[in-house]
Structure 1
């Protein structure tokens, strides 16, 4: 997967942008305060699979990264 794919993906809850956290292998939705897992390079955009992120995590600045 690449940056172009990341640009197409949106949060299924808010339809807002997602930010890829390479270290945690998660797609972050700041507006929904959810982190969706990326397993074996495949985003799992199911609300029941996401974890709730803290205010600190939501406020953390990070630039989108290519999925790989």
Structure 2
């Protein structure tokens, strides 16, 4: 599942994000969503979130169950 719709993201979900400094390379960072920072219902580049470890980036992939890991 991609991360362009705010309704599909909630705190506690495991996601892959792209950090600001990794936008050129597309390197993904994995973590658990703490806060949703984008207010609009969708965003073409991904919803901006803060992970539990404090990193901020745009969601590229949402893990929906244990089979996705």
Structures share a fold, TM > 0.5?
no
TM-score (ref. length: structure 1): 0.29
Which structure features the higher share of helix residues? Answer: 1
Which structure features the higher share of strand residues? Answer: 2
TM-score (ref. length: structure 2): 0.29
